Chain A
Amino acid sequence: MTAVEARPDNATEIGRDRRRKEDARLITGRTRWTDNINLPGMLHLAMVRSPFAHANITGIDTSAAESSEGVVAVLSAKDFDESLGACINAWPITPDQKTPDHPPIAGDRVSFAGEIVAVVAARSAAAARDAAEMVEVDYEELPAVVSLEEAVKDEVLAHPDLGTNKSALWVFDSAQAGTGGSVDDAISTARQDGIVIERTYRQQRLIPAFMEPRSVVCDPTGEQITVWSATQIPHILRFALAATTGVPESKIRVIAPDVGGGFGGKLQQTPEEMLVFAMARRLGKPVKYTETRSESLMAAHHGRDQIQKLTLSATKDGQVTGLKVELDANLGAYVAIVGGGVPVLGAFMFNAIYKFPAYQFNCQTVLTNTAWTDAYRGAGRPEATYAIERLMDELAVEVGVDPLEIREKNWINHEEFPFTTVAGLTYDSGDYATATAKAKEMFGYDELRREQAERRANNDPVQLGIGVSTFTEMCGLAPSRVLGSLDYGAGGWEHAQVRLTPTGKVEVITGASAHGQGHETAFSQIVADRLGVPFEDVEVLHGDTQIAAKGYDTYGSRSLVVGGEALVRAADKVLEKAKPIAAHLLEASVEDLEFTGGKWTVKGTDQGMSIGELSTAVFAAHNLPDGVEANLDSEATFDPENFNFPHGTHLCAMEVDTETGQVKMRKYVCCDDIGNIINPLIVAGQVHGGLVQGIAQALWEDAVYDDAGTLVSGSFVDYLLPTAADTISFDIDHTTSPSTTNTLGTKGVGEAGTIASTPAVVNAIVDALRPMGVNDVAMPCTPERVWRAINEGSAGGGTTDAAAPHFDPSTGMSGTADRPEGDVQ
């Protein structure tokens, strides 16, 4: 019998701040990232990309490239047939959505700068890159439409054949849905005798900027075609490959090996993946493509890019009565896999934690000649949270009360849960008052308000502002039925399997696909507690469709709340199967057994068996009860009945240098309620990283195109990512209102920090400048914008659409790298 260490009676893994077991291999480079995979005879691809945002392709001359050393093939669209497949839109948000065809390689026309027009296969990556520069493409430039403001006019069309740039209009109206009253009535009443606040906010375009650039390898030489991809979604990719190329799904194996971050940016089925698959099949050899950082910034999907026109109505004393949202969302050149759905995910969140009696959401998605947009950490919910949390501050100013007071007046009270909102969602649990009280205490709220008053009185050149964000979000995507009702093209369940080896070790298979989250550690903790085995004895397997055959992958803060629950259920099934066997071996009746501390014991005796001992006995199968199969392995599929609603109170103090417009974070405190916590260390990592990503939208990041559709912020010189040197240490804590829709009581935490922090920062900056008549600063709040807001009273307007050259006076380095110049006819 194998000795399996018995667990103490009280499970101890959940709640423990275990160091992540995957980190040693991830940090030291011991793992193999996709780009490290080298196969015998492997060929390398380089992409030829359009430098123009919109142009007809009038000719492609590949002859020079073909004769370049080491080149095996140079192909353009005409060389492929329909077996190339297509990039799919899995979420047509309305039945009449205009969805341009999205081939992986452009044929007659390119629709954004960075679109692939030819592909080179060569014996080395360097040879492929050299040859790519020799491909001569003749373009006939067409007028490009870049900005949302221009695109909605329909004067210049991103896709002339569609006749319009408007893709879909998606509307939710609480009066129609029966979840509330008429928003227009509420607004007109407030115009007579109340408060109406009208604002327009811009969600600038962002770039996910994951650490590991995208990379794909395809080996067509086996019985199954194997694809390795740095993706968040191996299962969905396999489905999309099969569905669009005609290759049977059973002949495709997709592996997401260790993946270096995604933030939604790898929730995509990409042209590059389709081309690698096609080229490998065509050439009969393994093929690899790894993008450069320039290509990644230019042609991997972007996020946000919305204009929000908002109308909030309230009574004179600040009770909210209605909220109307008119939103334009820039899809870019194509409707990406869930691109159109991203703003719809925000539709249910504008009302946030507040008891609005009437609500209307109108979303117009719009096509432009820019890189396509899709999920980016928070996906729709940061935009919504920003809008409402900025508006609540405006309402507080209008009423003349503290921003926390106006929130308290309008939020859902703890005793009102479960609460069905005006958007039709039922929030299961939460306690906004307790989280806020705790955050205020941590922050030293009253003291900072006193300091703010002093600085104002002294006319201090450095003013202090305090920003509030009492956010909530919906996450844990799932539930399949709800996704179906929104015309989403897939489900949202998650699958798990628990296997026991003969020596009593546990293999956990999950359909979630980690790319930095720490699943291996957290899931091991859950299973160790559930089965009473040591943490070290649990091995988590994922990301390979031949091992984890079923799954919906990782995004939308779903892995723990959906996948974790599937895991619990699979583990419980193991225990159910084990119990009669344990009773048989212990010569006791099932009723006399109890499972404590990882052991079945016969009540009133010291006789017992651990799960490890049982798995060895089942492996031998010498002495099993009649009719019982020799197998403890179990699986479960979990589809929750509801989303999951984390919330929290975030408080931010910003110092604003009124002479220069420079802002500096003084203090950031958050008290998040994410239900029960499996691993506090992983949670802290998610919160800190999430906060920085949200703060970065407020202060630094901005994907800027010039009027011609060239990405000006095309390198990290101009697309400003913060480092540790630019941030402060955040004070984080938690309240605990366990979720009622999974047995662990957990809520998602992967996106919470990003969703919450952006409005807290901008609210703080605006709060500092209120006495100067400022009520908005556009994001990112650059020093120039802040200074102009102070001196001109504007929100800061646009910035100069030009990058500073730092490496070469004639070309600069932005937006022109890694692609050959085309000839303009």
Chain B
Amino acid sequence: MIPASFDYVAPTTVEEALAALAQYGDEAKVIAGGQSLLPVLRMRLNAPEWVIDLGRIDSLRGIRDEGDSILVGATTRHSDVATDPLVAEHAALVARATATVADAQVRHRGTFGGALAHADPAGDLGAPALALDAEFVIAGPGGERVVPGSEFFQGLFETAVSEDELLTGVRIPKHTGWTAHYEKFVRVAHQWPICAVGATLKVSGGVIEGAAIGLTNMGSTPLRAAGVEQALVGQQASEEVVRNAAALAADGVEPPSDLNGDADYRRHLVTVLTRRAITKALGASWT
């Protein structure tokens, strides 16, 4: 488990990092926490000539209040996101999902932006970010641009971030007062989810005023269950409403088949997990 040799640079500003990217281009890989890149290097699945370490760029780390939204810096560690009071108050679904990522050691190394930029459809953060209408802040040679989740995730391990760009942060519109639950289905705790569903709801007087549902590992990108959301919004929260809405969760999904389950099984599973995620987000006593 010895990586091929590489050169290493650790810029202290985003500008320096972009300059390094411009200089080394496709010879370089960016490392934040190393959650995914380190296994790749150690198993020699990739042998970049340069590794650009973002760990010393202070401006990329931390969570701040931007009025209508919160901004999570790209290299903020999962353990910090999961316990951050701003996230808990305004993006409860992100807090819930982040707390389930891998195991404690990984959560103390891995970063929010790194995991999203890696874009593994089985990653736990994509579906919640998508469901909360997060915007992805991307810095490049031409300055900064912001893309919505629907454009950010382009395919299996593919995002809108091009080779000369960096994801610097994720802006999450405040969902203050929304309840949330992330229902993750695994065989062992440290595994990637076989399927997971993030549900966050705004309920007032028993009526569901807002619903956002994200699906993990049900296609080549994180997905949003728009049909389920539509079936919920405006309805009185009841077991029947939830059950009927959740039954729509498998519409249009194209889940993978692997050792942990084939596509048909996952299509079934997602409806059960969606129902449970919504029910738990509602704090309802029915199951």
Interface residues of A (CB under 8 A from B): 125-126, 129-130, 133, 292-294, 461, 659-660, 662, 699-700, 702, 704, 712-713, 715, 717-718, 720-723, 725-726, 782-784, 787-788, 799-809, 811, 813, 816-818
Let me know if A809 and B156 touch, CB within 8 A. Answer: yes
27 contacts between A and B (CB under 8 A): A292-B1, A660-B273, A699-B187, A704-B259, A720-B188, A722-B188, A723-B188, A723-B189, A725-B189, A726-B189, A782-B261, A783-B261, A783-B269, A784-B260, A784-B265, A799-B260, A800-B257, A800-B259, A801-B259, A802-B259, A803-B258, A803-B259, A804-B256, A806-B36, A806-B192, A808-B40, A813-B39
Let me know if B259 and A718 touch, CB within 8 A. Answer: yes
Q: Does B4 contact A (CB under 8 A)?
A: yes
Contacts of A800 in B (CB 8 A): 257-259, 261-262
In the complex formed, the residue of A with least CB distance to B262 is A800
Contacts of B44 in A (CB 8 A): 129, 133, 817-818
Distance of B111 from chain A, by nearest CB (Å): 16
| Complexed CA–CA distance, A130 and B2 (Å) | 9
Let me know if B43 and A662 touch, CB within 8 A. Answer: no
Please provide the 8 A-B residue pairs with the shortest distance between their CB atoms, ordered closest to farther: A725-B189, A817-B43, A784-B261, A804-B258, A800-B257, A809-B157, A292-B1, A784-B265
In the complex formed, the residue of B with least CB distance to A807 is B40
Let me know if A129 and B45 touch, CB within 8 A. Answer: no
Let me know if A799 and B185 touch, CB within 8 A. Answer: no
User: Which of A129, A704, A803, A804 has its CB near the most chain B CB atoms (within 10 A)?
Assistant: A804
Contacts of A799 in B (CB 8 A): 259-262
> How many residues of chain B get a CB closer than 8 Å to chain A's CBs?
38
In the complex formed, the residue of B with least CB distance to A295 is B1
Q: Does B5 contact A (CB under 8 A)?
A: yes
| Complexed CA–CA distance, A543 and B1 (Å) | 28
In the complex formed, the residue of A with least CB distance to B156 is A809
Indicate with 1 or 0, residue by residue over B251-287, a CB within 8 angstroms of chain A CB atoms.
0000011111110010011001100000000000001
Q: Does B122 contact A (CB under 8 A)?
A: yes
Contact of A811 among B5, B45, B191, B268 (CB under 8 A): B45
Let me know if B45 and A807 touch, CB within 8 A. Answer: yes
Indicate with 1 or 0, residue by residue over B187-209, a CB within 8 angstroms of chain A CB atoms.
11111101000000000000000
| Complexed CA–CA distance, A782 and B272 (Å) | 17
**Known interface pairs A126-B5, A133-B4, A461-B287; 8 further A-B residue pairs with C-beta atoms within 8 A, sorted by A's residue number:** A702-B259, A782-B187, A783-B187, A802-B258, A803-B258, A805-B157, A813-B40, A818-B43
Let me know if A293 and B269 touch, CB within 8 A. Answer: no
Let me know if A787 and B265 touch, CB within 8 A. Answer: yes
In the complex formed, the residue of A with least CB distance to B190 is A723
Q: Does B165 contact A (CB under 8 A)?
A: no
In the complex formed, the residue of A with least CB distance to B258 is A804
| Complexed CA–CA distance, A279 and B256 (Å) | 46
Contacts of B185 in A (CB 8 A): 660, 662, 783
In the complex formed, the residue of B with least CB distance to A817 is B43
Contacts of A717 in B (CB 8 A): 191-192
| Complexed CA–CA distance, A807 and B46 (Å) | 10
| Complexed CA–CA distance, A520 and B175 (Å) | 60
Q: Does B80 contact A (CB under 8 A)?
A: no
Contacts of A726 in B (CB 8 A): 188-189
Let me know if B287 and A126 touch, CB within 8 A. Answer: no
Distance of B175 from chain A, by nearest CB (Å): 28
Q: Does B164 contact A (CB under 8 A)?
A: no
For window 5-40 of B, CB contacts with A under 8 Å fall at: 5, 36, 39-40
Distance of A260 from chain B, by nearest CB (Å): 16
Q: Does B229 contact A (CB under 8 A)?
A: no
Contacts of A715 in B (CB 8 A): 43
In the complex formed, the residue of B with least CB distance to A716 is B190
Q: Does B120 contact A (CB under 8 A)?
A: yes
Contacts of B156 in A (CB 8 A): 805, 809
User: Which of B36, B43, B46, B287 has its CB near the most chain A CB atoms (within 10 A)?
Assistant: B43
Question: B-side binding surface: helix, strand, loop or mixed?
Answer: loop
| Complexed CA–CA distance, A513 and B188 (Å) | 33
Distance of B29 from chain A, by nearest CB (Å): 11
Let me know if B188 and A129 touch, CB within 8 A. Answer: no
For window 42-61 of B, CB contacts with A under 8 Å fall at: 43-46
Contacts of A700 in B (CB 8 A): 187-188
In the complex formed, the residue of A with least CB distance to B268 is A787
Contact of B5 among A130, A660, A702, A782 (CB under 8 A): A130
Distance of B93 from chain A, by nearest CB (Å): 21
For window 236-261 of B, CB contacts with A under 8 Å fall at: 256-261
| Complexed CA–CA distance, A799 and B191 (Å) | 17
| Complexed CA–CA distance, A125 and B156 (Å) | 34
Contacts of B260 in A (CB 8 A): 782, 784, 799, 804
Contacts of B36 in A (CB 8 A): 806-807
Distance of A809 from chain B, by nearest CB (Å): 5
Contacts of A816 in B (CB 8 A): 45
In the complex formed, the residue of A with least CB distance to B120 is A806
Contact of B157 among A660, A803, A808, A818 (CB under 8 A): A808
Contacts of A721 in B (CB 8 A): 188
Contacts of A125 in B (CB 8 A): 2
Contacts of B43 in A (CB 8 A): 294, 715, 807, 813, 817-818
| Complexed CA–CA distance, A525 and B75 (Å) | 53
Distance of A42 from chain B, by nearest CB (Å): 16
Let me know if B261 and A129 touch, CB within 8 A. Answer: no
| Complexed CA–CA distance, A718 and B273 (Å) | 23
Distance of A780 from chain B, by nearest CB (Å): 8
| Complexed CA–CA distance, A97 and B50 (Å) | 55
Contact of B259 among A659, A712, A809 (CB under 8 A): A712
Contacts of B1 in A (CB 8 A): 292-294, 818
Contacts of B191 in A (CB 8 A): 717, 720
| Complexed CA–CA distance, A787 and B187 (Å) | 14
In the complex formed, the residue of A with least CB distance to B4 is A130
Contacts of A704 in B (CB 8 A): 259
In the complex formed, the residue of B with least CB distance to A461 is B287
In the complex formed, the residue of A with least CB distance to B3 is A126
Contacts of B257 in A (CB 8 A): 800, 802
Let me know if B122 and A720 touch, CB within 8 A. Answer: no
Known: A461-B287, A800-B257. A725 touches B190 (CB 8 A): yes
Let me know if B272 and A660 touch, CB within 8 A. Answer: yes
Known: A700-B188, A723-B189, A806-B122. A817 touches B45 (CB 8 A): yes
Distance of B279 from chain A, by nearest CB (Å): 12
In the complex formed, the residue of B with least CB distance to A124 is B2
In the complex formed, the residue of B with least CB distance to A722 is B188
In the complex formed, the residue of A with least CB distance to B194 is A783
Indicate with 1 or 0, residue by residue over B89-130, a CB within 8 angstroms of chain A CB atoms.
000000000000001000000000000000010100000000
Distance of A636 from chain B, by nearest CB (Å): 44
In the complex formed, the residue of A with least CB distance to B38 is A807
Known: A294-B43, A804-B192, A809-B157. A660 touches B269 (CB 8 A): yes
| Complexed CA–CA distance, A294 and B258 (Å) | 20
User: Which of A717, A806, A807 has its CB near the most chain B CB atoms (within 10 A)?
Assistant: A807
Contacts of A784 in B (CB 8 A): 260-262, 265
Distance of A372 from chain B, by nearest CB (Å): 23
Let me know if A129 and B258 touch, CB within 8 A. Answer: no
| Complexed CA–CA distance, A129 and B2 (Å) | 7
Distance of A69 from chain B, by nearest CB (Å): 10
Let me know if A126 and B188 touch, CB within 8 A. Answer: no
Contacts of B194 in A (CB 8 A): 783
Contacts of A461 in B (CB 8 A): 287
Contacts of B256 in A (CB 8 A): 804
| Complexed CA–CA distance, A444 and B261 (Å) | 35
| Complexed CA–CA distance, A788 and B266 (Å) | 12
